[in-house]
Structure 1
């Protein structure tokens, strides 16, 4: 599948500064490249940054099939089409699962792997409220505010609603539609199950960025991560949750900046 993407070319801040190479960012479930503009612009000081819309998200095509394996194959097709070799791959949540799967199935291909707040294991599809908040008919709604008010009936969390609303598009007709393939994602409720075999591991240089208050990472997960990725650095933002690239952006970008400064 041909994925939509945004490119942020390498911005050479000082004369003679070399690029660390291409940086690829994979968003999480219900996200898109739009969630990563600030991060991508900042990281372009180190190399060219590509923010991808994964299948059924953003401006990329919709499909009845949605799996980590297929998203990894989409990524492989993107890298081949753009002749990208040895990139740095950053993945958040669902994007992190795709990034790890790609790394496990493409040994020694990545220059570095960066995973945000997800572990190499199965997860339940615990997004019933999110799906319901995007499943009511949008005909007759004349503003985003009215749609947000209707969504509140299913999803009280303001932060998550505002996150979802980034994928709401107003068409030329004045009507609204979701860029997300809501029905397709709803049918893919086993997308986070049985992805990784117990025996798989990776020698890729790997950085895990974790929110200290996140519900996605347990103490057992930290043990599993160390087992799967022996060439590992773990950074925890103590007060952060699952969306530390947004809620704790300063600390998040500082950690990445320090990491990229060490890459030759």
Structure 2
């Protein structure tokens, strides 16, 4: 599948700075490349950055099938099409699962791996409220405010509604539509189950960025990744949740700056 993307060319801070290579950012479920503009611009000081819309998200094509394996295959095609050598992968949530799967099944390909707030294990599909909030007909709605009011009947969390609405598009006709393949994602409820091959491991330079208050990452997960990744750095942002790239952006970018400075 040919994925939509945005490229942020390498912007060195000084004439003598060399690029670390190409960086690819993979968003999470219900997200898109639009969620990563600030991080991508920041990381372009280290190398050219591609922010990718994964299948059924953003401006990329919709498909009936949606799995971590297929998204990893989409990523492989993207890397080959753009002739990218030894990229650095940054993946958040679903994107982190895709990035880890790619790393496990393509040993030696990555220069480095950054995983945000997700572990290499199965997760339940606990997004009924999100799906319901995007499943009512949009015909007749003339403003985002009215759509938000209707969404709030299903999804009280204002932050998550605003996050979802980054994928809400107004057409030239004045009508609204979801860029997300809402029905397709609803049918892919086992997307986070039994994802990884048996006896997986990685020697890739790996940074885990974890929210200290996140529901997605547990103490057991710390032990799991320590067993799985032999070249591992773990950074925990206290009080941070699942969206630390947004809610704790200053600390997040500081950690990336420090760790990327160590990559060769």
For the aligned pair, the TM-score class normalised by the smaller chain equals over 0.9
State TM-score, norm by structure 1: 0.99
- The aligned residue for residue 96 of structure 2 is 96
State whether structure 2 residue 140 is matched by structure 1 residue 140. yes
Listed one character per residue, the Cα deviations across residues 36-91 of structure 1 (whole Å, up to 9, x for unaligned) are: 00000010011000000000000000000000000000000000000001000000
Which residue does the alignment assign to 1:113? 113
Q: CA deviation at 1:13?
A: 1.3
In 1, the alpha carbon distance for the partners of 2:198 and 2:160 equals 33
Matches within 5 A, 1:57-72: 57-72=57-72
Per-residue deviation, 1:198: 3.9
Give a deviation string over 1:175-200, Cα, whole Å, max 9, x none.
00000000000000000000113411
Aligned twin of 2:216: 216
- In 2, the alpha carbon distance for the partners of 1:224 and 1:78 equals 29
**Cα distance in 2, alignment partners of residues 119 and 198 from structure 1:** 15
Q: How does 1:33-52 map to 2 (within 5 A)?
A: 33-52=33-52
Inter-partner Cα distance in structure 2 for 1:165 and 1:188: 21
Whole-angstrom distance in 1 between the partners of 2:162 and 2:2: 28
TM-score (ref. length: structure 2): 0.99
Distance 1:79 1:196 in 2: 21
CA-based RMSD: 0.5
Deviations 1:74-109 (A, max 9, x none): 000000000001000000000000000000000010
1:260, CA displacement in angstroms? 1.0
Deviation at 1:34, TM superposition (A): 0.1
Which ranges of structure 2 fall in alignment gaps of 5 or more residues?
A: none
CA distance in 1, matches of 2:86, 2:62: 28
How many residues align structurally? 264
Deviations 1:1-26 (A, max 9, x none): 00000000000210110011000000
Where 1:245 maps in the other structure, the secondary structure is helix
- Secondary structure at 1:201 match in 2: coil
| 1:74-89 equivalence runs, <5 A | 74-89=74-89
1:113 and 1:261 map into 2 onto residues whose CA distance is 14
In structure 2, what is the Cα distance between the partners aligned to 1:182 and 1:105?
A: 29
Aligned equivalents of 1:144, 1:205: Cα separation in 2: 43
Runs of 4+ residues deviating >3 angstroms:
none
2:129 maps to 129
